[in-house]
Amino acid sequence: MSLAVKASQAPFPHRHLLGIEGLSAAEIVTLLDLSEDAAKLGRQIDKKRDDLRGRTLINLFFEASTRTQSSFELAGKRLGADVMNMAIPTSSVQKGETLIDTAVTLNAMRPDLLVVRHHAAGAVELLSQKVDCSVINAGDGSHEHPTQALLDALTIRRHKGRIEGLIVAICGDIMHSRVARSNILLLNTLGARVRVVAPSTLLASGIERLGVEVYTSMWEGLIDADIVMMLRLQKERMVSSLIPSQREYFHFFGLDYDKLACAKPDALIMHPGPMNRGVEIDSNVADDQRSVIREQVEMGVAVRIAVLQALARHLPNQ
């Protein structure tokens, strides 16, 4: 893999991690290599380091999250930071404060790292312009979710030894998925062949211009796939008449053994979680030995440790 120059020594030059867009292949590989070390750390008895000793990390989640928020919290704590979780129901947003006011208020508390999830695309970048600390995008609307893409890539690389040349089928609600967008960007940057598979109503307009092959049939889209990456289907999609029903969706787009048989025999099954068993994925397939869904969660912590470490090198010292 020509892109995979051993770049681990190259410093990560960005102050924020707002998206995969704008990251070079070398920078992504740097983060993945760092994550590999963090994964080892996570399997030791003593998981504690002091890279972020004395630093403050605020988890600012305007949208509910379990695994992303908790893994950032754990990552921060393992690196020795003080971690504060800002819960949405009690936040000032409910009282009418604007996003920027919230940012300015938090900035006054002098945090070093701000992890932000927001339901509006672009909100995290907007916030990053108003604060002095490093900002990590933990998901902004349907735009990007960079740490998810990194943890997916790490999981793939650990199993397949490479990213380049792999056929990755991303299946499901492409239109509304920030996970899909970040993954498309990252996997393309590292030289994978990316496919998206969805009914036309859940494909985003012009998606083919993002360098993916578009399929509206799972049976065709999964042919020879090395990686089958399922996306979560939100219930609202049926009310808004984008798809007819859960049973029809599962029949044509749910990952079951029949469709999985089109993929390579050793294809990895992935899902960013939380899963709707019986909607986008058959329950047995989710628990199949080819499924790496639980490992994705473990790698989530490792990637977030790596991202915090990389950004910490740019934090001002006094």
Per CB under 8 A, residues contacting another protein are: 199-201, 216-217, 238-239, 241-245, 247-248, 251-252
- Residue 238 Cβ, how far from another protein at the closest point, in Å? 7
| 244 φ/ψ sector (left φ>0, alpha ψ -120 to 50, else beta) | alpha
Least distance in angstroms from the C-beta of 202 to another protein = 9
3-state secondary structure of 197: strand
Residue 226's beta-bridge partner residues? none
Q: How is residue 8 written in tokens? A: 């681990």
- Give the shortest CB-305-to-another protein separation in angstroms: 42
Integer Cα distance of 116 and 133 in angstroms: 12
Among residues 162, 111, 121, 170, the alpha carbon closest in space to that of 145 is found at 121
Q: Which is closer to another protein, CB of 247 or CB of 314? A: 247
Hey, what's the torsion of the CAs at 53, 38, 185, 27, to 10 degrees? Answer: 70
* Residue among 216 and 234 whose Cβ is closer to another protein: 216
Residues 95 and 46: beta-carbon distance below 8 Å: no
CA angle 66/275/89 to nearest 5° reads 30
Helix, strand, coil percentages (3-state) for the chain, rounded to 5, are 40, 15, 45
The closest alpha carbon to 71, from 228, 311, 272, 268, belongs to 272
Chain Cα centroid distance, residue 167: 19
Report d(CA 105, CA 107) in Å as an integer: 5
Instruction: In angstroms, give the least distance from the CB of 172 to another protein.
Output: 14
For another protein, the closer of residues 40 and 251 by Cβ is 251
Identity of the residue, 32 or 180, whose beta carbon is nearer to another protein in the bound complex: 180
Q: What's the min distance (Å) between Cβ of 183 and another protein? A: 22
The minimum distance between CB 251 and another protein, in angstroms, equals 6
* Structure letter (DSSP) for residue 226: S
Peptide bond into 89 cis (omega under 30): no
Min dist CB 242 to another protein, Å, is 6
> Cβ 216 to another protein, closest distance in Å?
4
Nearer to another protein, 85 or 201 (CB): 201
Angstrom distance (rounded) from CA 168 to CA 34: 23
Of the candidates 155, 191, 239, which has an alpha carbon nearest to the alpha carbon of residue 25?
Answer: 191
